[in-house]
Amino acid sequence: MWDEPLYPQDKIVGVGRCVRGWVPFEAPKTAKPVRVVYQPSTGPMMEWELN
């Protein structure tokens, strides 16, 4: 279903490094999300704007 793998939650990414992957989430059908707040079970909270 996804072209890329899911975001790797089991790996620690060092400062200045990047990873690529999907972070699927549910959103209401009546409103368009503008921001994502993501906090894996291990690690800091991340936040980004949606285009």
Interatomic CA distance for residues 35 and 16, integer angstroms: 23
Residue 31's contacts (CB-CB under 8 Å, 6 or more residues apart) are: none
- Please report which confidence band the pLDDT of residue 4 belongs to, taking 50, 70 and 90 as the band edges: low
* Dihedral over Cα of 10, 25, 19, 45: its sign: negative
Residues β-bridged to residue 46: 38
Domain ranges of the chain: 1-51
| pLDDT tens-digit map of 23-43 | 787 888 898 889 888 887 777
pTM score above 0.75: no
The strand ranges marked E within the chain are 35-38, 46-49
